[in-house]
Amino acid sequence: MSITTSQKNATAWLNPAEMARLSSLELRARDVVEGYLQGLHRSPFVGYSVEFSSHRRYGAGDDLRHVNWKLFARQRKLYVKEYDAETNMNLYLFVDSSRSMQCQVDGLMTKYEYSSVLAAAMASLALKQRDGVALGRMDDGITNYLDPSAKPGRWEECVRMLSVDAQVRTTKLGRSLEQAASLARHKGVVAIFSDLVDDLTEVANGLQQLRHRGHEVLLFHILDPCERRFPKSGRFRIVDMEEDRSVTTDAESVRREYQTRVDQWCSDLRDICLHQGVDRVEVTTDETPAETLVNFLVKKNCL
């Protein structure tokens, strides 16, 4: 973190607006998690190994498949079996904090805030299962990184990191993903939250590197509704958030062509992800984060 950010962090705790934003993120994330947990009560993450390690007390949300019923019968207390894989599963969260992620036109919040909520919610879910959570921010590279940990207070650290203002740098996603691959040394789940505004080849290379290391990669493609579906009518002065340029246009004259190109882009990304074995979730910020996460996790559990 830069000095400016740390100073900001120092004052962030005292700044009512920042406090409000922090608590807002926290609250939102909790809402997402609790909503999910109330709905399903099942751990979203399943370990890879079945080697028994030890017992631990049953906690809300634990998979009932791992409850030791014999022990319950003897001691009338619920204990779940821990497996080696479970205790070693790390969740790596990488959030794109470049300039383009500050876009908010028709969405509920900026893409960065949306990503932050999702990342915080997932971190909360993982930490509840005592999975290790790592968090990194990226723009032209990994700017902030927290190593995987399941210690108490990790979640607050994550929230604090996510609440820091972005450096408004441009996106270099390929490089960021490469760095992420090098940082995520142990196998786990890598969740990437980005608008993927970069060269698709570099993105594909980055994803490939992550997959090469054996990670399960989840790609949350976050877009503003205006970016995904250009407005139907009106005159607009479109400003590029990453590059200092703008253009004035009427929606009717460009919408169809624009839509075609965006669809093609998304389709190419889908193909890349499919080829790489990456789970891609296309999200627009007009959907609530809870809805997005629930839909994703339900879908994941169903597969």
**Does 77 participate in binding another protein (rule CB under 8 A)?**
no
Name which of residues 169 to 198 contact another protein (CB under 8 A).
195, 197
The span from the CA of 224 to the CA of 220, in Å, is 13
Report helix, strand or coil for 139.
coil
Report residue 235: phi and psi, to 5°: -100, 135
Structure tokens at 225: 């509704």
When binding is defined by CB under 8 A, the residue of 25, 29, 91, 103 that contacts another protein is 103
The span from the CA of 261 to the CA of 266, in Å, is 9
Query: Smallest distance from the beta carbon of 228 to another protein, in angstroms?
Result: 11
Query: Smallest distance from the beta carbon of 165 to another protein, in angstroms?
Result: 16
The span from the CA of 277 to the CA of 255, in Å, is 32
Report residue 119: phi and psi, to 5°: -65, -45
- The residue with tokens 């607006």 is 17
The span from the CA of 215 to the CA of 149, in Å, is 17
**Does 139 participate in binding another protein (rule CB under 8 A)?**
no
Query: Smallest distance from the beta carbon of 242 to another protein, in angstroms?
Result: 6
CB 122 within 8 A of CB 191: yes
**Does 299 participate in binding another protein (rule CB under 8 A)?**
no
Compute CA distances 171 → 64, 146, 252, whole Å.
43, 20, 29
- The residue with tokens 């791992």 is 66
By DSSP bridging, strand 245-250 and strand 279-284 are unpaired
Query: Smallest distance from the beta carbon of 223 to another protein, in angstroms?
Result: 8
Identify which of 167, 185, 178 has the alpha carbon closest to the alpha carbon of residue 208.
Answer: 178
**Does 237 participate in binding another protein (rule CB under 8 A)?**
yes
**Does 241 participate in binding another protein (rule CB under 8 A)?**
yes
**Does 200 participate in binding another protein (rule CB under 8 A)?**
no
When binding is defined by CB under 8 A, the residue of 32, 180, 226, 281 that contacts another protein is 226
Name the residue nearer to another protein (CB basis): 254 or 294.
Answer: 254
Candidates 66-74, 132-140, 203-211, 252-260 — which segment interacts with another protein by CB under 8 A? 252-260
**Does 261 participate in binding another protein (rule CB under 8 A)?**
yes
When binding is defined by CB under 8 A, the residue of 105, 108, 168, 298 that contacts another protein is 105
**Does 101 participate in binding another protein (rule CB under 8 A)?**
yes
Query: Smallest distance from the beta carbon of 239 to another protein, in angstroms?
Result: 5
Kindly list the residues in this chain that would bind another protein in the complex (CB under 8 A).
99-103, 105, 111, 195, 197, 223-224, 226-227, 230-231, 234-243, 245-250, 252-254, 257-258, 261-262, 265
